[in-house]
């Protein structure tokens, strides 16, 4: 049985591509910190895993692509404003 993945595609291995990907993850309520293993992310409401095995493989692939393409620090830098937005923290322009 093939299941549909909820993970958005990474359209570009660049800072802007990472920023867009993290933004799409937030819009789909799938955002997690890129330094965390997606296989270990659980829903607070019921303790079940947030991602299927297939989604974990996709997420690891995309995160590896970003890390190799733009570096760890830039990947985290791209995720930062998305996390601040998700937390309701307004950033200065």
**pLDDT tens string 11-22:** 999 999 999 999
5 or 74: which leads in pLDDT: 74
1 has a pLDDT exceeding 70: no
Q: In this structure, are residues 62 and 20 in contact, taking their beta carbons and an 8 Å threshold?
A: no
Q: In this structure, are residues 32 and 38 in contact, taking their beta carbons and an 8 Å threshold?
A: yes
Q: Using CA atoms, how far apart are residues 91 and 80, in angstroms rounded to an integer?
A: 10
Q: In this structure, are residues 65 and 13 in contact, taking their beta carbons and an 8 Å threshold?
A: yes
89 has a pLDDT exceeding 90: no
pLDDT at 2: 53
């Amino acid at each position: 049985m093939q299941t549909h993945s909820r993970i958005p595609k990474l359209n570009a291995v660049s800072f802007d591509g990472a920023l867009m990907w993290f933004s799409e993850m937030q819009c789909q309520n799938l955002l997690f910190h890129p330094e965390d293993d997606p296989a270990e992310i659980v829903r607070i409401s019921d303790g079940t895993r947030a991602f299927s095995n297939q989604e974990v493989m996709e997420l690891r692939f995309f995160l590896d692509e970003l890390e190799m393409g733009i570096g760890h620090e830039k990947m985290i830098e791209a995720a930062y404003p998305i996390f601040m937005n998700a937390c309701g923290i307004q950033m200065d322009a």
